Amino acid sequence: MYVRGGHESGHLILANGESTSDIGQSLGIAAASGMAGETVPIILQGISDDQSGLTPGQIYYASPDGDLIPNETPVRAGLAIDGSRLLLDVSR
């Protein structure tokens, strides 16, 4: 999960699932994996189909390090359609 911010205009930072300050700032989810400093496309709405190990019907949230977890945090990500697809429902 990514939120508005960063040190320069236009940059995004990982959402912190423990921070209530990220509520309303969440934008979307990375469309692919990447390393720090690399450009990664962000999915803002619709379906993210680059996931793995999701439980169908489970709602997922951002963990403190930005990963998807089934435990409720202040930053909601979406609903698992199947094991690899997440219907984004980013809390804004």
**pTM of this structure:** 0.71
* Domains in the chain: boundaries: 2-88
The mean pLDDT value of the chain amounts to 75
φ and ψ of 21, to 5 deg: -70, -15
How many residues would you count in the chain?
92
Confidence band of 2 (pLDDT split at 50, 70, 90):
very low
Return the closest-CA partner of residue 45 out of 57, 66, 29: 29
Mean pLDDT of 48-55: 92
Confidence band of 6 (pLDDT split at 50, 70, 90):
very low
